[in-house]
Amino acid sequence: MSEIERDVCVVIGSGGMGRVIARRVGQGRTVLLADRNPDALEPVAAAMRDDGFTVETCAVDVTSSDSFQELAQVATSLGPVRFVVHTAGVSPAQGSVAQILGVNILGPSLMLETFANVVSPGGAAVVIASSAGYLDVGPLDRDTIEQLCRVPATELLDLPVLAVDRFASGSPAYRISKRVAQLRVRGAVRDWAARGCRVNSVSPGVTATPMGREERDASNVAAARLISGSAAGRSATAEEIAEAVAFLFSPSASFIYGADLLVDGGAIAAIDSGLLSLTS
């Protein structure tokens, strides 16, 4: 460890959004980049080091509790953990229903459970969810919502509402996976607050990252309409999402707990007000 102990910022997911967020919130800190693919980590880390960042890497399987425990051990060995950002996810164009539910639900849930006992007092975490979580996910009664918020992560995928055979395709599975990510943040608020920490989520709209482009290229009419029908009339940039994360980590957000910050250029507002339809 260096003579001057730096705070640690853990960024889970080294894709387009993760690497931009790491640069935005990692200045003056030790950045621990984590991803399932070790080969993808080193080029990102090397580029950041070339630009003056202090960066370490760690492989992680976001569907494994043991893997998260190992990640937490690496993080604490580097210094006091101040911030955690979970960006890892699978889109409908990238995986099966089972993969979408596993990565997008277990990942944030296991992170929240594991790092609730790790982040230093005064620290915070942000889960990257999606504006898709605001779209139709079917009826969710109060008991189901409470279960989705608080059931232990390892039991989540056993809930009937998350059964793989309920979903005809990846899109509805993706929507509910992101809704659950938002709910898990709410359910974790008290546990994190007991340690003097905050946790929130950010729900981007269609964003100009490799994942976002892959969705648009997959003949995704809904993605195109979310862009053209939004108030902004364009995709978000990864830098704009990173600014939202930085705000939630800042003292200016000190009274924000368990919130979801919707950063979608006004697309959901247009849907809710009847100005935008994704089906006609």
Tokens of 271: 């849907």
pTM: 0.95
Q: Per-residue DSSP letters for 5-37? A: PPPEEEEE--SHHHHHHHHHH-TTSEEEEEES-
Q: Which positions are catalytic? A: 174, 178
DSSP state of 137: -
- Domain chopping of the chain, boundaries: 8-207+237-264
* Tens-binned pLDDT, residue by residue, of the chain (280 aa): 445 779 999 999 999 999 999 999 999 999 999 999 989 899 999 999 999 999 999 999 999 999 999 999 999 999 999 999 999 999 998 999 999 999 999 999 999 999 999 999 999 999 999 999 999 999 999 999 999 999 999 999 999 999 999 999 999 999 999 999 999 999 999 999 999 999 999 999 999 877 666 666 655 678 889 999 999 999 999 999 999 999 999 999 999 999 999 999 999 999 999 999 988 6
- Say if residues 17 and 202 touch (Cβ distance below 8 Å): no
Of the options 3.20.20.10, 2.60.120.920, 3.40.50.720, 3.30.300.30, the CATH number for the domain spanning 8-207+237-264? 3.40.50.720
DSSP state of 250: S
Kindly report the number of other CB atoms within 10 A of residue 28's CB atom.
10
SS3 content of the chain, % helix, strand, coil (to 5): 50, 15, 35
- Residue 159: strand, helix, or coil: coil
